[in-house]
Copies of this chain bind each other. A is one copy, B any other.
């Protein structure tokens, strides 16, 4: 099974694709979609939607795991982030993927063993778990981490059945 992990943001959206057979994990691709250069917020949303669509067409994941975003105290920031996450979720659904949500805490637990792990710890653990040659950027690592989290969740669920 190929899993697309998405870490949505209103400026940068991270993505990562992994493969799992229920036991082993394999790295397929990862990267970031940068929207800072886009002239308008609408264009940024379309960039997220289109670029994720391209990632899906290129790497063929069957499911998407999307990190639930941290709820800022600032409603305006939350609204903006909601737009970005909505565009990402719609990109996955429109391309036929099933979508699963994971809280940042669950994602950190899955890759680093505890929910309060630092960003750098997530990056190092993702590198180790996927046997990468280099440390992925923070946004790409978070996206790979949510994909790994889903892989663990599915495997755990399968073993329990």
Contacts and interface: CB of A to CB of B under 8 A. Distances in A.
Q: Give chain A's interface secondary structure class.
A: helix
A94 B42 contact: no
A82 B90 contact: no
A93 interface: yes
Interface residues of A, number: 31
A84 interface: yes
Given A80-B82, A82-B83, A45 B89 contact: yes
Nearest to A42: B99
Q: Which of A49, A85, A90 has its CB near the most chain B CB atoms (within 10 A)?
A: A90
Nearest to A82: B82
22 contacts: A42-B101, A43-B93, A45-B90, A46-B93, A49-B90, A49-B93, A71-B75, A71-B76, A73-B75, A75-B78, A76-B78, A78-B78, A78-B79, A79-B82, A80-B82, A83-B89, A84-B86, A85-B86, A86-B86, A87-B87, A87-B90, A90-B90
